[in-house]
Amino acid sequence: MKRKRKQNMKELRKKGIYIIPNLVTTGNLFCGVFSIMSVLHGQYATAAIAIMVGAIFDLLDGKLARLTHTTSHFGVEYDSLSDLVSFGVAPGLLAYAWALQPYGRLGWMGLFLYIACGALRLARFNLQVSGPESKDFLGLPTPAAAFLVASMVIFDADVFNLGDAMRPGLTLGLTYLLAFLMVSNIRYRSFKGLNLRNRKPFNVLVGLVLALIIFVTIPQIVIFSFSLIYVLIGILEKPLVALYRKLDEQPGTPSKSNAIYPEEDIEDIEDKEILVKH
């Protein structure tokens, strides 16, 4: 183990590090620290926005590393450490200072659980990176969990005031739920297979323009809604698919083979094949 560490350190000194992706990762780390400082000063909306900007940096550093072929083991480790600050410590502190303090021990245990599960999620992700690449995430990604916490704070401040009676209980339940989802085996879509380079129908462009207009008009509602929908899709997708298949296989429902090739058509095809052979 020590030999391997020494070899990695020698390679790092010889080859150096890639500047562009790691600089973007540093931007993510800066947003996390700035968010923590904003929480300490009671500026919760500013802290939430900093977390969202950090999520954008986190999305960009991986894309840039793959596009410029500058991926490295150092970059993966640095990205995970930055994510722990920006999407573990920062949103956990934000949730605690914003709503969980009235619960006392139960509140700060929720803070600890959120940060611990975020660290475990990132450690497991690092092991998955070293293995075969998967199209889906195993467990809720830490940026998605942090994004939901941050978007709820902004939604409460600008759109719908939850009030002191509802806010603590709702935030406590959400904190514990997100902590569980991060370390769960529930699969979440990564959208790595999404390809916008190829030609698409004209209606797709129209839909994207309409979505942009809605986002510009009511950004707080759109961001919170999409964050919540992404979290819920991971929970509900598998049960809904299983229910659909169960209903599809009920007696009296035509099977897929019969739906494509009715019984009479199959017999006709067989007769034609016999005639051709003879």
CATH class of 7-199: mainly alpha
136 has which bridge partners?
Answer: 189
Low-confidence residues of the chain: pLDDT under 50: 256-278
**Rounded Cα–Cα distance for residues 145 and 175 (Å):** 9
Residue with tokens 């350190």: 9
Q: Specify the amino acid at residue 169.
A: G
The C-alpha atoms of residue 111 and residue 178 are separated, in whole angstroms, by 11
Output Rg (C-alpha) for the chain, integer angstroms. Answer: 24
Instruction: Give the model's pLDDT for residue 267.
Output: 39
Which tokens belong to 131?
């293995």
pLDDT of residue 136: 79
Q: Can you tell me whether residue 187 is helix, strand or coil?
A: strand
Neighbours of 100 (CB within 10 A): 25
DSSP string covering 110-145: HHHHHHHHHHHHHHHHHHHHHS---SEEES--HHHH
Tokens of 195: 């390809």
How much is the pLDDT for 1? 53
Domain boundaries, the chain: 7-199
The residues near 91 (Cβ < 8 Å, ≥ 6 apart) are 35, 51, 114, 145, 146, 149, 150
Considering the entire predicted model, what is its pTM? 0.79
pLDDT at residue number 189: 84
**pLDDT confidence of residue 73:** 84
Per-residue pLDDT tens digits for 65-78: 888 888 788 888 89
Distance CA 88, CA 234 (A): 20
Are the CB atoms for 183 and 138 separated by under 8 Å? no
Tokens of 100: 């969980």
Query: What's the confidence (pLDDT) of residue 194?
Result: 66
Q: Tell me, what's the pLDDT at 82?
A: 94
